[in-house]
Structure 1
Amino acid sequence: MLRRLVIGLLSAMIGLFIVPTAATAQQQVLTWTAGNSVTQYLSAPATAVAGTATVIFDNSRAAGNTTGMPHTLTFDTTTPGYNHDVDLNITANPYDENGGYYEAEITLTPGTYRYHCVIPGHGMMVGELVVTADGGDPDPDTTAPEVAAAVTGQQDDDGDYLGSAEVAITATDAGSGVDAVEYSLDGGEFLAYDGPVAVTEIGGHTVDYRATDVAGNTAEGSVSFAIVEDADPDTTAPEVAAAVTGEQDDDGDYVGSAEVAITATDADSGVAAIEYSLDGGEYTHYHMAVVVAEVGGHTVDYRATDVAGNTAEGSVSFTIVEEAGPDPDTTAPEVGAEVAGERNDDGDYVGSVEVAITATDAGSGVDVVEYSLDGGEFLAYDGPVAVAEVGGHTVDYRATDLAGNTAEGGVSFTIVEEAGPDPDTTAPEVGAEVAGERNDDGDYVGSVEVAVTATDAGSGVDVVEYSLDGGEFVAYDGPVAVTEVGGHTVDYRATDVAGNTAEGGVSFTIVQEGEPGDCPDGRATVTIDGIDTGVANADLGDGCTINDLIDEAGDYENHGQFVRHVGDVVRPLADDGILTQREVGAILRAAARSQIGR
């Protein structure tokens, strides 16, 4: 019964992405999406086939989460009646390191899995995944469910029920699982069963009931009874109350959100229904704590009705305020500098110095450290500043934290010439090596790394710089990675502390990975298996487009491998600013909906 109710409810509220049951296990991609709601996933699969499957959990901005709301996708491994052999618990939000997009591999067995969101306040985000045997029906379920009904209530000596009775229906199915439970009162229309049926009309009654499993097998039954007038009828309303819980501030207001739990008891005929209304809205059936997160004043009206029709009401009011943010950082960093080098008897530095700058910030953290030599432009500090020019010098420095607070300072010193007849007039020795996979033509496939080395036996190497393809010279701090297809030149130079400079250069060509060939896919928008994403099919600068890299005609072992391939193609394009995260999401969803690899 629960399976039918939960899946039916979710199907009515959201559009489900359903993997066809005719698909093989290796082809399955099961996609869940989440957004700003705490009551439902935006989409979720309802059925699958046994075997391996790729799970996609998308809680990104592109999928519809515009508030940064975190969600989880958790498979239930404790509730009786469900499969417990998949341990999956993914937490995602649009601002995490994956942008809220996650993939996982799982193995499914025939039966029913229950999934839900475990974050407090998200309790209604729940559903079921029904898994059939691989291939559809090699072992079809041909056995009807087991269904029964029990009548309860106060009875007289003749076995008739006094004033009212309740009929509770139970159904189980060890095969494909129960899909629907229904009942008919006194020959009326069959209705979906969602709880004990209360009957209060005096006279004889018959409740017909039936249960249908997922495979379509149906079992039926019937129960008859009589209701007579109660000499001492129930005229007492139930006892009903509500409790509000959540973090409160000093004023008693709730911070961020609150939960309202309603309880009701009736010692006579028993509670038949509990309902609530939020802020004057329509009364709704109560089945779990009501989560309220909107900032402002709220009122929850509630009522409980017993089987005899007596009703009790109540109301609770409260206020929700925004969560307080951290105290702003208004304290500037601590910044200082030390000058190191050989000094003479007058305290001047001989030949050269190095100025090391340090900065710390206990609040928001240091964002940037900069320096200026002799009143020049401030530059980013990335290591000790070497100064070798003879004369007086001043190094001004500053540090700025993430909150924008800045601290400044400065040091002054004098450099004198080194004693001795042999000043360093020899330039450093500098060279470069190009590393990477090469093809038969000597071109590099996909990418290269250029490593620059420099040595100086005199005053020592002061700085090493490089320029890529005629661009501005920048400080060299490790091998230079080049990935763009085409011809390239890396010029390099090294300067020693005495100011002597040596230069050089290397040239090479990078070609695409795989077989060379034209890139003919010039469609205006990215289209996968006929699904137009609406995203511009951008030229990537080498004559190839996004669709060329996606390679719909490639050889993929299964659909999941194709979807992962598309992700590997488009995510770097987002890192390079060619695509937005929303466009990445649109392309991935089109890949998941396609038939490629199936």
Structure 2
Amino acid sequence: MNAKRWIFFIAIVFCEALLNAQSLPYIEKKMYKSPDGKLYVNKSLPIYLFIGTQPDAAKGVVRLESETTKRYANPMYFDSEGYNTIQSPSCVDTITKQVVLPKHNIIFEVYADSRPPITRMHIETKRQHVRKGKIYVSGEAKVVLSATDELAGVDKILYSIDGADYTEYTAPIQLSDQKEYTLKYFAFDHVGNIEAVHTAIIVVDKTAPKVSMEIKGDFHEQVLAGNARIIFFTEDTISETENLFYALNDNKPAIYTSPVDMKDLPQGEYTLTYWAEDKVGNSSDKQTFSFYVDKTPPTIIPEIMGKTYMINGKEFSSGRALLKLTTIDNKAGTREIYYSINNSEFKKYEKPVMLNNTGGRLIVRAYALDYVNNRNEISEGTQSASLPYVDLTGPSIGYRIEGPYLQVGDTILINKTSRIKLFASDDESGLNEILYSIDKKDYTKYTATFNIENEGIHQLDISASDNVDNISSRSVWLYTDNEGPEIYTLFSSPSYQTPINDSIQTIYPPYCKLYISATDRHTSVLKMTYSLNHSPEKPLTGFLTGFKGHNHLLIHAWDMLGNHSSLTLEFWVGEPK
């Protein structure tokens, strides 16, 4: 902006200021004769003295001139504030025209007044407050102006509101609208001394403060944790807040200076009443906030859902059991539960947990949070929750064959006399029962040894359960073999026919040998014996020879399961005829 523009801008601003400036009414400086006859003159006015011989000042009046103090006489000025005199030496009797004795001067009193009145303002209101030069009043205000003057006396008080023309003050000024008023006022006396203009900014405040509340820390709805604090805020855009009050339940109200801290309050129900007053006494409506201080964490109750069994003072549960965590909370309610099994990583609990991957002694650690973050923990070393021993395995199953048997691959060969004994053991919750089924038929509870008589292949299914219903099973293939070996005989020489005792007989030569053998369809031949002509039995080792005449041969064979078979031969040995 160049210099010409600056000058033009400044000129506009100056002119605008002159137009907006409020002008004072013209007040004449003058003389004044009071009702009590005293003469007052504005001390700044020039004084001219006139003298006449008639009571009527309008006739034959001559202005006095001074010969000795001509320089200071026309006009003259009073030098003293207040009482001044114009004197002539010696009083002369108006009738005798003689000097009155004792002598004393003739005195004319004149009071010179240069001092303006002093105006005081008084505001009639319930309460007021001064801040930064402004006067804040409550509700409405009555402004009373009063002025005093030491000499000539107050002539008038003039006032102006918000830049309006000056008006003579005759009665208290009523300010009732909520707003900021600019009041200007001054007084002048009877000789025209003008008081300097007083300016008062008066703010009428009819609005109470606004109070708001904030909760810091953990809370849920109207439940507050022990770490929560209630903080109040006030807003008053006019006269400002003086005090904020609060009261808990029926206690005496207190002035709010710091947050209301829940750590200082016992657990329980509370009603907080609060309100604020501004600096001119406007009070907000009382507000209430009802809340509960909750310092108690949830209680955690671990529970095993499923069958349990007590043995020798020790409790067992199965792998099909569920771990259920239940919580009880006094007020806010449980928000989350986390758990750890046997020191594993904590997981959020949402539903009962299967224990099929956890065996042995079960240690559950858990913690629960309510909605205001009160936390309770059950953990080893504090409230350690030692739950039942988790038995994940069923009994160990075994069997034994009492009597003849032979293991061939995955099949056990038995005979009808073989007795089958079942047994099982469980080192944890203990054995409950053993069941068995033959050839897919209904299961039978095992109580004693049994046999399988029917020839052929059989499937034996064994099932055992422990006291927490863990089940083990096992299948065994059995073959019941009740047949003895098949016996074969073969003579080493051919036979021939010859008549003996009136019949034709088959005869073998004396040098022949009889070969005897046997085979077994399922196992093998264990042993063979023979009895020749009712002689005692002898072991059979291969072949027989040395026969004579008529022979009765009884052959016995046994397989490896003790199954027996026999064969009887009748034959002749001799020379041909």
Higher strand share: 2
User: Is the TM value for this pair above 0.5?
Assistant: no
TM-score relative to the length of structure 1: 0.20
Q: Which has the larger radius of gyration?
A: 2
TM-score relative to the length of structure 2: 0.21
Structure number with higher relative contact order (C-alpha < 8 Å, ≥ 6 residues apart): 1
Higher helix share: 1
